[in-house]
Amino acid sequence: MDFVIQQITSGLAEGAIFASVALALVMIFTATEHLNFAQGEMAMFSTYLAWTLINAGVPYWLAFVITVVISFAGGVTIEYVVLRPLARAPVLAYVIVFIGLLVIFNSMAGWIWSYVLKEFPSPFKAFATGSNLIGSHQLGVIAVTLIVLTALFLFFKFTPLGLAMRAAAQNPVSAKLVGIRVGWMLALGWGLAASIGAVAGMMVAPIVFLDPNMMAGILLYGFASALLGGISNPAGAVLGGFIFGVLQNVPTIIERLLNINVIGNELKLTFALVVVVAVLTFKPSGLFGQVRIKRV
Amino acid sequence: MSTLLEVKNLHAIYGQTRALHGVSFSLEEGGITTLLGANGAGKTTTLRSVCNMVRTEGEISFAGARIDGKATEEIVRLGVAHVPEGRGTFVHLTVEENLKLGSYTRKDKAEIQADMELVFRYFPRLKERLAQQAGTLSGGEQQMLAISRALMLKPRLMLLDEPSFGLAPLVVQEIFRIMRRINQEEKVSMLLVEQNAALALDLADHAYVLETGRVVMSGLADEVKNDEGVRRSYLGY
């Protein structure tokens, strides 16, 4: 039983990171219908900034806050400088720009910080959980993710700015007609997505170690989570992240219980991805996504 | 009375084609002006031009200042509330959220609350539906919501694009009655685009008739109503 609980909690901890990345993707997707392939690399870059600050002697949580703020500004700047001129460009132009951003951030990180793996501290090592079911970092990751998600939920649900951002994402034309500066809402969305990504990066770095390619896989799983939960639904995408995290450990649990070894550790993510594909085959809009009906 | 909106030699351009060819008209402060015409005459385009939602050439002045070329949201912030074709409500948001968005640009909290009450006096039905998603409202209720949202801006000018579209005659009458009250009681000037010419001419004090992007006739609503050609083409008797 302990083994099962362990697997589930570690799945939830990883799922929290997928959920954050999924949410960052969905935030930009709902507003623009574009998938930001560079989301992971932006998060990786932010994590390097945090690493630099911490190595320069800045206390962890101060470095955390500074990184989140800088990432926010960075996200806003990217939208304003790189994406705004594309306003009416065809989809492929966006795809190229996102891939360009991905490559730029990846090589810049390699150039500035080298490709050598770096250790990234976990702020939660100090508290022992006193349990062998869940590690302190895992618990911390889940807690931080839940705090971020709750804060975002409250922001979008209860503040005028959050409401304006939702309105701008849903119906940009009508949003302009009530005086909302839609361009700025989009830039704020990019800022928020970059900040969420930064948090995800700082949470995952102690597990996978910091290197310029650390987010490549996580972006993919974040994307799969978003699709699983429903890419049009932020809450669904978050749930998708947690489900995906736990799902990848399901084969391990079953194998242990049955005392067999078929899938093993290497294929556990593959298993989860296969399940996602299977779900999407039967429910293309995802588990919690809205089915889009177009009148023709 | 002073001129609130003045449009001079307006051209509207969609890609390669021009939809308006030098439209000029003006609107008195406190008045209701209607633009009439068949499908494709350029009525909706004219309304959209005022809010800079299409590419235009020509002069548009609001309350004495040029607004052509300004961003839509900046024109709205001057007090121009556009109730677009198809109502443009935020269908996934609640009625209350839609109304709050209407007053998004205003900072006068107490007055916003008072205006919310005002909206409920005009449209009591919306109060019962506050927590409901706008997309689940009936067509008539959605139109009421669209007008209410525009009212929450505390506008000087309301641009109304076919408020009667797709609604039952009784509902249309109710909405037009309330539009008249809003015009008189809240001193909101209105520029109304309507397919239903008879209805529009009853409400408006001035009328312009558009044909393929040009003004072919204008005058007091009563004069236009009694014009032989207008009667045949648009009133159908």
Determine the Cα angle at B76 with ends B61 and B197, to 5°: 75
pLDDT band at A127 (very low <50, low <70, confident <90, very high): low
Task: Supply φ then ψ for residue B189, to 5 degrees.
Answer: -75, 155
Q: How far is the alpha carbon of A178 from chain B, nearest alpha carbon, in Å?
A: 5
Does residue B10 contact residue B56 with C-beta atoms inside 8 Å?
yes
CA–CA dist B114, A75 (Å, integer): 39
Residue B21 has a pLDDT of 92
Convert the pLDDT of each residue in A163-187 to its tens digit.
999 999 999 999 999 999 999 999 9
The parent domain of residue B112 ranges over: 3-235
Q: What confidence tier does A30 reach under pLDDT thresholds 50, 70, 90?
A: confident
pLDDT score at A43: 97
A129 pLDDT band, cuts 50/70/90, is low
Per-residue confidence (pLDDT) for residue A293, from 0 to 100: 63
**Which secondary-structure segment (H or E) carries B152?**
none
CA separation (Å) from A55 to A120, A211, B174, B199? 10, 15, 70, 74
Write out pLDDT tens, residues A35-73.
Answer: 999 999 999 999 999 999 999 999 999 999 999 999 999
Q: Which two tokens stand for residue B114?
A: 């008072």
For chain A, give the mean pLDDT.
90
Quick one: DSSP state of residue B234?
I
A293 touches chain B (CB under 8 A): no
Domain of B40: which CATH number?
Answer: 3.40.50.300
Please say if the pLDDT value at position A225 is more than 60. Answer: yes
Write down the pLDDT at residue A258. 86
pLDDT of A295 strictly over 60: no
The backbone torsions φ and ψ at residue B160, rounded to the nearest 5 degrees and listed phi first, read: -115, 120
The predicted pLDDT at position A259 comes to 83
Q: Which helix (H) or strand (E) covers residue A115, if one does?
A: none
Please state the φ and ψ torsions of residue B81, each to the nearest 5 degrees: -105, 120
pLDDT at A268 over 90: no
**Whole-angstrom distance, CA of residue A180 vs CA of residue A25:** 23
* Cβ distance of A163 and B92 shorter than 8 Å: no
Total number of domains constituting chain B: 1
Q: Residue B4 — φ and ψ, nearest 5°?
A: -95, -45
pTM for the model stands at 0.89
Report helix, strand or coil for A210: strand
Token pair 């037009």: residue:
B176
Chain segment B48-98, per-residue pLDDT in tens: 999 999 999 999 999 999 999 899 999 999 999 999 988 889 999 999 999
Closest residue in A to B106 (Cα) is A179
Amino acid B5: pLDDT: 95
Write out the E strands in B139-229: 157-161, 189-193, 206-211, 214-220
User: On the CB side of B144, how many CA atoms lie within 13 Å of its CA?
Assistant: 27
CA atoms lying within 13 Å on the CB side of residue B120:
12
Give the best residue of B73, B115, B154 to mutate against chain A (max A CB count within 10 A).
B73
Would the CB atoms of A178 and B104 count as touching at under 8 Å? yes
**ipTM at complex level:** 0.91
Q: Is A190 in a helix, a strand, or coil?
A: helix
CB B84 within 8 A of CB B37: no
Euclidean distance between CA atoms A17 and A245, whole angstroms: 9
* Angstrom distance (rounded) from CA B187 to CA A230: 47
**Half-sphere exposure in the Cβ direction for B89 (13 Å, CA):** 30
- Residue owning tokens 């909405």: B175
The string of DSSP letters for A216-271 reads HHHHHHHHHHHHHH-TT-HHHHHHHHHHHHHHTTHHHHHHHHHT--SSTTTTHHHH
Contacts with B, A 115-174, CB within 8 Å: 160, 163-164, 166-167, 170-171, 173-174
Of A167, A179, A180, the CB nearest to B93: A167
> Does residue A131 surpass a pLDDT of 90?
no
C-alpha R_g of chain A: 19
Least Cα distance to B83 among B171, B165, B2 occurs for B165
- pLDDT of the residue at A105: 96
CA-based nearest residue to B129, from B137, B140, B121: B137
Determine contact, residues A155/A23, Cβ cutoff 8 Å.
Answer: no
Nearest CA in chain B to A165: B101
Out of A163, A171, A177, closest to residue B100 by CB: A163
- The Cα A66–Cα B200 span in angstroms is 59
What confidence tier does A124 reach under pLDDT thresholds 50, 70, 90?
confident
Asked if pLDDT for residue A296 goes beyond 60, the answer is no
Q: Which tokens sit at B180?
A: 């008249």
CB contact under 8 A, B97 and A175: no
Q: Which of A170, A174, A293, A295 to mutate to test the interface with B (most CBs of B within 10 A)?
A: A174
- Those residues of chain B that have pLDDT short of 50 are none
Give the tokens for residue B16.
Answer: 């390669």
Spatial distance between the Cα atoms of A130 and A137, rounded to a whole number of angstroms: 13
